[in-house]
Amino acid sequence: AAAQDEKGCIVLSAERSEVKVRLYQPAGAVTETWRIIREKDARQNDIIRLQRPNGALVMQNLQGKESP
């Protein structure tokens, strides 16, 4: 099971490379294992992406300070 905080958000801790996500669709619920991709952008900000098994990127989170 995915680690969650008290609000039901998925916790993307540094030691994790995958997270199980339960999707609710009209045909029923399905659980997928999404890959956590961690990279740096050109400004050396941390980027976190989630990738579905079909290769689609579903989320991107930029972390870090923007350059002026």
Residues of the domain holding 2: 1-60
Rounded average pLDDT over 36-42:
86
Inside any domain, residue 50: yes
- Considering the entire predicted model, what is its pTM? 0.66
Residue 65 lies in a domain: no
| Token digits of residue 32 | 């997928």
Q: How far is CA 33 from CA 19, 36, 50, in A?
A: 6, 10, 10
Q: Supply the pLDDT for residue 16.
A: 87
* CA-only gyration radius of the chain, Å: 14
Please indicate whether residue 20 or residue 66 has the higher confidence score (pLDDT): 20
pLDDT for residue 32: 92
Position 1 in a domain:
yes
**Number of structural domains in the chain:** 1
pLDDT value, residue 25: 84
Residue 44 lies in a domain: yes
Residue 66 falls within a domain, yes or no?
no
Residue 25, C-beta contacts closer than 8 angstroms, at least 6 positions apart: none
Q: What is the distance between the alpha carbons of residues 23 and 32, in angstroms, rounded to a whole number?
A: 8
Examine residue 68 and state whether it is found in any structural domain, yes or no. no
Q: Is 20 a member of any domain?
A: yes
